[in-house]
Amino acid sequence: MPPTASLAPQALDTGPARPLPSQARGKPAAAAASRNWQRNWQRESARAYGLGLAPALVVLAAITLLPLVTLVVVSLTPLSLTDPAATFHFEQPAGNYAQLLQDQRFVDSLWVQAKLSSVSVLLQLLVGLGLALLLHSSSRVVAGLRTFFLIPMVLPPIVVALVWKIIYTPDISPMHALLEQWGWPLRSLIANPDTALWAIVAADVWQWFPFTMLMVLAQLQMVPRDPVDAARIDGANRWQVFVYIVLPYLQRTLVVCALFRLIDSFKAFPLLYVLTNGGPGTVTEVTNFYGFIQAFNFSYWGYGSAIAVVMLAIIFVLSALVSRLGRAKGDAHAR
C-alpha cells in the first residue's frame, strides 16, 4: 500500500480544514475591495453614460427648452417689431395676460377652438373605430382597403387643404357640379358663416380618422379569442360582444388616440389658413390663428407669445385630464 493511502484517514479525522490566520484576515479585505471596485465601476459607467448623452441632451434642450423659455420671456414684455428697442422691457410682466382676460376676440377664439377640437376629435374616434371594426379581417381585399384609407393621413397638410379648397369652391368643385345636376344647388360651405367651421371639421376628420383606425386595428389583434368565443357560445350577439368584451380592451387605445388628436387639433393651422383665413368674419378664427394674426399681422409679438403660452397651458391641463381618465378606465377594467 502506498504511504499516501495510509495518511488520508488521519487527515479526515482532524475535522474540517481551518483557514490560516492570514487567509481569515484576507477574506473581508477581498470582499471590501470587490465592493469598492463595483462602486467605482458603477460610478465610471454612470459618468461615461452621462458624457455620452450630454451632446444629445444639449441639442434637445436647445431645440425644445430654449424656444419655450424664450416664448415665456417674450410673453412678459409688450414687444412689438415696430419698435423692438423700446418695447422689450419688463415693467408690467403680467400686462399681456391681464389684457387677454378683457379681449373678447380672444375669448371667442377659445370657444371656436373648443367646438372645433371636441367635434373633430369625437368624429375621428367614431369613424376610425367603426372602420377598424369593419376592416378587421385577413382578406387581401380588406388589406387593400386599409391601405387606401391611410392615404389622407400621409398627405402633407397643405395638400389636404388645397384638395378641400377645390371641393368647397363652387366654380371648380365636382361636388357642387354634381349636386347642381341633381337639382340641389349648394352655396359655398366655407363662405357661409353657418357652415364654415363644420366644413373645416369635415376636412380635418377626413385627414386624421386613419390614425384612430390604424391604432384600433393594431389593438384588435391583441384581443384574446377565448372570451369572445365563450360569449358567442353563451348566445351573446355582436353588439354585446363588442360592448362587454372588445370595447374594454380598446379603451386605453382610444384614450391615447383622443389625447394625440386633441393636442394636434390645436395645430390645425393650414386648413384654416387656406380654406377660410379665419373667416367669414371670425367664425373660424381659433386661438392659434388669432395669435398668428397678433404676432405676424400686427407685429405684437409679446401679446402673441402670451396667447401661445395660454394655449400651451390649456394643452397641458387637457392632456393631464385625458391621461387620468385613461388610467382610471384601465384600472377599472383591470379590477
pLDDT at res. 25: 59
pLDDT tens digit string along 140-184? 888 888 888 889 988 998 999 999 999 999 988 889 999 989 988
What are 225-276's pLDDT values in tens digits? 898 889 888 888 889 999 998 999 998 899 889 888 988 888 888 889 999 9
Q: What percent of the chain has pLDDT over 70?
A: 89
Most confident of 20-29, 292-301, 326-335: 292-301
End-to-end, the C-alpha distance of the chain in Å comes to 76
pLDDT at position 34, please?
A: 85
Model confidence, pTM: 0.77
Q: What is the pLDDT of residues 38-81, one digit of tens each?
A: 888 988 888 998 899 999 989 988 888 888 999 999 999 999 98
Average pLDDT along the chain: 86
The pLDDT of residue 10: 45
Model pLDDT, residue 23: 57
